[in-house]
Structure 1
Amino acid sequence: MRKKLLLLSILLIFALSGCLPNLDAQDEVVQEENNNNKNEEKAIVPKYQISEEYYRTLTPFRPSGARGQAASYLNSRFDSDEFEEGLLRISQKNFSTDQYIFQEGQYLDSETINEWLRSLNPTEPDVDDGASIDEKKEAKENAPKYLAHILEQNYLVQEDDKVKLEGISIGLALNSVYYFNIEGNRFETPISNNTIEKEGKRIAEEVVQLIRGVEGLEEVPITIGLFKQQAKTSIIPGNYFAYATVKSGSRSLEWNNVNEKYVLFPSKHATDQYRDDAERFSRFKEDISTYFPNHNGIVGRGLYINNELQKISIDIDFQFYGKTEVIGFTQYLAGLAVEAYPDYVILEINVKSVAGQEAMILKKPDMKEPFVHIY
């Protein structure tokens, strides 16, 4: 009885807030077979779309055959998250969110990606077992691994009661630092931006040829992005710096530059290049310190697109002495969030303690009030 009352209460809350799920707002479709899935399967396409920023996704969710590799192959969680999210933004340049449906990559499994990584990176020259560490080091430095990972995303279109593949996006994660070990000694070699771009475009050309040889991808339009990941010690993610479009059935790449980057707050770079935003962050930090001095650090990561701040994520490490303090502090932050940044900036604040995540505040351009969640 208590469970039924709880369920009725939840449904009442949804109804009063206008958020009651519409079970009719979906289509049952048949997904056409591909090389990995020889049997047609039924799926659900939701008609409701949260925002123009996001793609609709088929249900049930079908994971990629290479799921989880990005987190293993990239240098940090910051890089692996931005590698995926950034490719979604780039994909929107060719595959609009109102027309296309997103699905994780279904054509390149982990075995295929590992094989491609081996073939696309330089082959290390043979070195005698009796060679010195310096000789082995030089050999590795002359054949660095430029390519760290390959990410696939699929874009489908619904026609009547079927959905079929109409686009594919490929992300190529490129190393800005090559790390290697020799006889227990750890070495690292930085890779210049010019080399990253040159090798990235070379690799992209080869990847397109490989993709055209995959059953089901012979004719599909391709979007391919180049992502430069940061060093392992960085606390900001890397960024996409170029993308290419390959038309249906073509093997020719048309390149475009991407003007995106992350900036750390506070930092000298932020103060020198983005003084107004650096001062805004400084005032925000001072407002927190004035009323709640027992924080252990406040760090911001700002995403700039075409030199304009689009999003800033702020992590606050705090020493709490009780739940009521968490609630009070979060309420204070929510008030600051409304006034701290312009409406067009996406603001995300994560409040953490030694016990883990304590609260999250999110303010988007289309939100009159920030969303607040206390864990």
Structure 2
Amino acid sequence: MRKLSMVALSLVLLLTACAPNFQKQEEVVQKKDDDTKEKAIIPKYKISDEYYRTIMPFEPGEARGMVVNNLNTRYDITEFETGLMRIAQNSFSTDQYVFKEGQYLDGDTVTSWLNRKMTDAQVKAKEEELKKKTKKTKVTVDNPGLNPADPGTGDVHERNKKNPIYLAHILEHDYLVKVGGEKGTYQLGGVAIGLAMNSVHYYTKEKYGAVYEKNISRAVLEREGKKMAQEVVNRLRGIKELSNVPITVGLFEQQSKSSVVPGNFFAYAEVSQGSNNIGSWKDVKEEYILFPSDQAQKDHRDDLTFFQNFKQDVETYFPNFNGVIGKGFYLDGQLQELNINIPIQFYGKAEAIGFTQYVTGLVMEHFPSYVSVQVNISSVMGPEALIVKKPDQDEPFVHIYQ
């Protein structure tokens, strides 16, 4: 018998049973970079082994919020951050390490690294400008930009096609590890760095003119990303606190501004403690696929077939409805998760409940047992129901929003 949480009391009981027990927490000492120590708290409750615990009190990252401005879509923003955590788990176990937002790359540093490299002529012009402003006879201009230089002369289209902006954002995650006893000290044990690469370079001829696009192939992104990664590691080693910790670097390909699925990490490398050398790169075989789509038809026909069968059965309930959209997450070519959105207009709560029960049966009937499926049913009033089926689960979790 399928379980429907249909009244407020059941929701309260559910939240009571599943909420973290904040009385169960670990008081520890956090060792700072200047050898000072301060008390910190690490909650003992952890949602699952897929997530890191976070040290408290929470310290915002030095470049907090920049990812929102630098990436194209909210899908890429979410996946870039959560994907970097998955990459980090290859190097830093969730059982031994705790998460902390990046504390060493501030906003100004990240911005300067994302700039274009200046040409010699541009550096000289900048120096002359500073001399006039400061009335000094000698000035030094930093030139840390990692993206290709733009000479600033010639046809704008040719310049942008030849020298596109490859690197969109740099994200730092810090991982602390215990170095003492049961109530021991935590200190920095490793750093994960994500480089978000552009699959599409957008540019204009004038400030408020038409926007043009330059597609960038995965092969080019990989080549340029690996070169940039080595330079980033060299610079991180120049930061005193990061001179001797393991570093993991991941390359992320973000999608276009019009995409309804996120990009994905496609390679990562581990740099051992105290080393500047990036050894061998490892492929990350992750991918998001939209259902239905031409790509799903081309690369995942069997998965598209059971999705289409599900979609058709949903549409028999409301014959004029065709809004079932799915997003599949693939790992090593195998479908792992399928998130389905069904936006529909209901004319009463009883109708929403009946439809949810019908869809729940379709979920159990159509999808393979090894796939994790989540169905979000919504209306113009907001979320109506949530259906979650975990792999090899006999009964799904179903929640009706009140």
TM-score, normalising length from structure 1?
0.88
Deviates further, 195-204 or 181-190: 181-190
Alpha-carbon spacing, 1:64–1:29, altered in 2? closer, same or farther (3 Å): same
- Tell me how far apart the structure 1 counterparts of residues 395 and 243 of structure 2 sit (CA, whole Å): 48
Alpha-carbon spacing, 1:22–1:297, altered in 2? closer, same or farther (3 Å): closer
**Structure 1 residue aligned with 2:312:** 286
For residue 277 of structure 1, the aligned residue among 289, 296, 303 is 303
Q: Secondary structure at the match of 1:50?
A: coil
- What number of residue pairs does the alignment pair up? 358
For residue 288 of structure 2, the aligned residue among 262, 277, 288 is 262
- Tell me how far apart the structure 2 counterparts of residues 374 and 64 of structure 1 sit (CA, whole Å): 37
Is residue 373–residue 388 contact of structure 2 (8 Å, CA) maintained in 1? yes
- Tell me how far apart the structure 2 counterparts of residues 108 and 366 of structure 1 sit (CA, whole Å): 43
Q: Secondary structure at the match of 1:272?
A: helix
- Tell me how far apart the structure 1 counterparts of residues 10 and 386 of structure 2 sit (CA, whole Å): 22
**Structure 2 residue aligned with 1:6:** none
**Structure 2 residue aligned with 1:30:** 29
Q: Secondary structure at the match of 1:152?
A: strand
Is residue 156–residue 166 contact of structure 1 (8 Å, CA) maintained in 2? yes
Q: CA deviation at 1:70?
A: 1.6
Describe the superposition over 1:143-190 as per-residue Cα deviations: whole angstroms up to 9, x where unpaired: 211000011111111233321111111111000110011121211111
Alpha-carbon spacing, 1:74–1:18, altered in 2? closer, same or farther (3 Å): closer
For residue 322 of structure 1, the aligned residue among 348, 363, 371 is 348
For residue 213 of structure 1, the aligned residue among 238, 247, 268 is 238
**Structure 2 residue aligned with 1:226:** 251
Q: Secondary structure at the match of 1:263?
A: strand
For residue 38 of structure 2, the aligned residue among 13, 37, 41 is 41
| Equivalent residues in 2 for 1:241-260, closer than 5 Å | 241-254=266-279, 255-260=281-286
**Identity, % of aligned positions:** 52
Unaligned runs of 5+ in 1: 1-8
**Structure 2 residue aligned with 1:74:** 71
Alpha-carbon spacing, 1:59–1:294, altered in 2? closer, same or farther (3 Å): farther
Q: CA deviation at 1:299?
A: 1.1
Q: CA deviation at 1:18?
A: 5.6
**Structure 1 residue aligned with 2:326:** 300
Describe the superposition over 1:339-358 as per-residue Cα deviations: whole angstroms up to 9, x where unpaired: 43233322222223334433
Describe the superposition over 1:184-217 as per-residue Cα deviations: whole angstroms up to 9, x where unpaired: 1211111122111100101101110111112311
**Structure 2 residue aligned with 1:164:** 187
2:184 pairs with 1:185: no
Q: Secondary structure at the match of 2:257?
A: coil
For residue 153 of structure 1, the aligned residue among 166, 173, 198 is 173
Q: Secondary structure at the match of 1:321?
A: coil
- Amino acid in the other structure paired with 1:170: I
- Tell me how far apart the structure 2 counterparts of residues 18 and 188 of structure 1 sit (CA, whole Å): 51
Q: CA deviation at 1:81?
A: 1.1
**Structure 2 residue aligned with 1:4:** none
Describe the superposition over 1:69-88 as per-residue Cα deviations: whole angstroms up to 9, x where unpaired: 22221111111111111111
Alpha-carbon spacing, 1:368–1:156, altered in 2? closer, same or farther (3 Å): farther
**Structure 2 residue aligned with 1:51:** 48
- Tell me how far apart the structure 1 counterparts of residues 185 and 11 of structure 2 sit (CA, whole Å): 32
| Larger relative contact order (CA 8 Å, sep ≥ 6) | 2
Is residue 20–residue 45 contact of structure 2 (8 Å, CA) maintained in 1? no
- Tell me how far apart the structure 2 counterparts of residues 216 and 57 of structure 1 sit (CA, whole Å): 20
Deviates further, 155-164 or 141-150: 155-164
**Structure 2 residue aligned with 1:358:** 384
Q: CA deviation at 1:34?
A: 3.3
**Structure 2 residue aligned with 1:312:** 338
Is residue 227–residue 238 contact of structure 1 (8 Å, CA) maintained in 2? yes
| Equivalent residues in 2 for 1:70-109, closer than 5 Å | 70-109=67-106
Q: CA deviation at 1:11?
A: 12
- Tell me how far apart the structure 1 counterparts of residues 65 and 393 of structure 2 sit (CA, whole Å): 32
Is residue 292–residue 329 contact of structure 1 (8 Å, CA) maintained in 2? no
Alpha-carbon spacing, 1:190–1:12, altered in 2? closer, same or farther (3 Å): closer
Unaligned runs of 5+ in 2: 1-8, 116-144
Describe the superposition over 1:296-351 as per-residue Cα deviations: whole angstroms up to 9, x where unpaired: 51111111111111111111121222333233323333333334323332222222
User: What's the C-alpha RMSD, in Å, of the aligned pairs?
Assistant: 2.5
TM-score, normalising length from structure 2?
0.82
Alpha-carbon spacing, 1:325–1:143, altered in 2? closer, same or farther (3 Å): same
- Tell me how far apart the structure 2 counterparts of residues 11 and 82 of structure 1 sit (CA, whole Å): 29
Name which one, 1 or 2, has greater alpha-carbon Rg: 2
Is residue 83–residue 173 contact of structure 1 (8 Å, CA) maintained in 2? yes
**Structure 1 residue aligned with 2:161:** 141
